[in-house]
Amino acid sequence: MATVSITHVGEDVDNAFGLAMERADCTGIIRSGDRVLIKPNWNGCSIAASTKLVTVLAACRWACSQGAGEVIVGEGPVPVGRPRIDAYLAEMGALEALSRVGARFVLFDDDEHVIVANRDDLPREIGIAKLALTCDVLINIPMLKVHSCCLTTLCVKNLKGCLRPADKMAFHRIGLLPAVVAMNRLIPAHINLVDAMDAMEGNHNNGPLVPLGVYIAGRDRVATDAVASAAIGFESGTVPLLKMAANAGLGECDLDKIDIAGEPLTPQRLQRSQDHLRRNYPDLNIQEAGACSACSAALMDGLYTAGSARTVKSVALGPQVNPGSDALVIGNCTRKHWSSHDHVSGCPPDGAAIAKALQKDKADTHD
């Protein structure tokens, strides 16, 4: 039976991290001299929507205390451009803080990738960060957040940050969930911890924070995600990505078959992405037919950026959509409607371009 721990996080973050590891039976995994890779969710978009730096530093110190010979923190953020990634890391103070605890940061985009080709449910070719495949121990540390497509974005999805930037977009186009499951067959995750000191509801990059004050940890990535999902109100077996991952033999998603150690599981329902759309944009008519998750996520980002300046009342996305006459059509898959509708191009479209189009009485064409 898989064991997942729930541990209260107080002022002593290091103590909480160590206790979470002990309760989840993760002590002893790191051997003397091991090369340890810590993979947080540092997305390059929002520090609030990222694994907390104090959690990553606690992981670094814990790994060293377990005998690690080298500790590396690696990430491949959302493809937002190098200047924005550098600014994000500088604002967080990540590089200096990691240096002080004897760890170093590697941006996967600049590092070597191992090419994997012709695998089921994956793009024809993908590149996986070599460090993720060659390290002795990978510690997987996402933040607890809801997600518009996956319902929750946690340990299983966090490994998507090990891909090349172009591969991340390709996953959305071919089917995000099966591609993420197939990717997880290739990348080990020896230790998993969900940073739920704060959870993000409504939108996985820009939603409100809800303080939960816990770490959720386990050796089984799927079981860890199942408990974390249950903590924010998703009942056992209701998260499709986790059911698919369990069916693929990657772990356990049935809460009745998971031993929860430490604090009791006390679910607190967080606002879903769909709830967020209905509550915050009641006047917006969203027409969707066959849209990929990348377009949906870009629309969410565009709506957030446009804010109260939005004037467009109808949007359409997806290759099978039949847009209303006043709809702004989004994405290259709506190309057949571009001659008759205002549109935002891209596969996926840029959230900033969508925001600009949403703010106009008669939206300009964006090619």
64-75 pLDDT, tens digit each = 999 999 999 999
CATH topology for 281-358 is Rossmann fold (3.40.50)
How high is the pLDDT of residue 21?
98
Average pLDDT value for residue range 143-165: 92
For residue 139, pLDDT over 70 is answered with yes
CA distances from 44 to 77, 79, 91, 318 (A): 5, 8, 11, 27
How far is residue 193's CA from residue 185's CA, in Å, rounded to a whole number? Answer: 19
What count of Cα atoms within 13 Å lies in the side-chain half-sphere of residue 341?
26
Q: Find all residues with CB under 8 Å of 70, minimum gap 6, and list them.
A: 34, 35, 36
For residues 318 and 288, is the Cβ–Cβ distance under 8 A? yes
Confidence class for position 351, pLDDT limits 50, 70, 90: confident
Helix (H) or strand (E) holding 314: strand 314-317
Which is nearest to 214 in space by CA: 75, 52, 28?
52
265-287 pLDDT, tens digit each = 999 998 877 676 767 788 999 89
**Is the peptide bond prior to 348 cis by the omega test (within 30 degrees of 0)?**
yes
157-203 pLDDT, tens digit each = 999 999 999 999 888 778 888 999 999 999 999 999 999 999 999 87
Three-state secondary-structure class, residue 2: strand
For residues 232 and 267, is the Cβ–Cβ distance under 8 A? yes
CA distances from 67 to 34, 60, 329 (A): 7, 11, 55
CATH class of the domain defined by 2-262: alpha beta
Domains of the chain, by residue range, sit at 2-262, 281-358
How high is the pLDDT of residue 274?
66
Distance of alpha carbon 87 from the chain centroid: 20
CA distances from 95 to 31, 49, 59 (A): 26, 18, 15
How far is residue 179's CA from residue 333's CA, in Å, rounded to a whole number? Answer: 20
Q: Which of 74-91 are b and which e, b meaning 16 or more Cβ less than 10 Å from the residue's Cβ?
A: bbbbbebeeeebeebbee
> Are 2-262 and 281-358 the same fold in CATH?
yes
How high is the pLDDT of residue 17?
98
Would the pTM of this model clear 0.75, i.e. be above it?
A: yes
Three-state secondary-structure class, residue 151: strand
For residue 292, pLDDT over 60 is answered with yes
What count of Cα atoms within 13 Å lies in the side-chain half-sphere of residue 291?
28
For residues 65 and 100, is the Cβ–Cβ distance under 8 A? no
